[in-house]
Amino acid sequence: MVLKSKNVAMVLGKTIHLSGVSQQDFLKDEGWLAHELCHIEQFREHGFFRFLWLYLRESMRVGYYNNKYEVEARIAGMKHRKSQNPVKRATDTIDPSGMPLPGDTKRQA
Ligand SMILES: [Zn+2]
């Protein structure tokens, strides 16, 4: 078994960096887009370096998944999914990449 390449989106300031996913596919995914836009808002709110520091500190304290900035972004992403059926929602999760940066991975569809 060879692992499929991960789809990764990473936010730095006002820019979303994509890896393993096309811009077109990313923009079609409203939940994922909303999640990353939330991180852009967090950068804007706290300032570039301050937010990186706060994000890293949260991750060290509670882990990437429970990082409050990830929790906030996850909620933002789920608001777009009310109309989707629960099965699709469950298989369509966005997880923190585990990097010391506000990046997220998504399972290949
Ligand atoms: Zn995130």
pLDDT per residue as tens digits for the range 53-76: 999 999 999 999 999 999 999 999
In a domain, 44, yes or no: yes
Full-model pTM: 0.86
How far, in Å, from the CA of 2 to the mean position of ligand 1?
Answer: 26
Average pLDDT over residues 22-44: 96
- Token representation of residue 49: 């370096």
Tell me, in angstroms, the distance from the centre of ligand 1 to residue 102's CA. 6
Is residue 1 included in any domain, yes or no?
Answer: no
Could you list the residue range(s) of the whole structural domain that residue 86 is in?
A: 7-106
CA of 28 to the centre of ligand 1 (A): 17
Q: How far is the CA of 51 from the centre of ligand 1 (A)?
A: 13
Going along the chain, which residue ranges are E strands?
7-12, 15-19, 94-96, 103-106
28: in domain: yes
| Residue 89 forms part of a structural domain | yes
Ligand 1 centre to CA of 108 (Å) is: 17
Q: Is residue 45 part of a domain?
A: yes
Report, as an integer, the average pLDDT of 9-15.
Answer: 97
pLDDT band per the 50, 70, 90 thresholds, residue 79: confident
Asked if residue 2 is part of any domain, the answer here is no
**DSSP secondary structure string for all residues of 20-31:** SS-HHHHHH-HH
pLDDT exceeds 90 at position 90: no
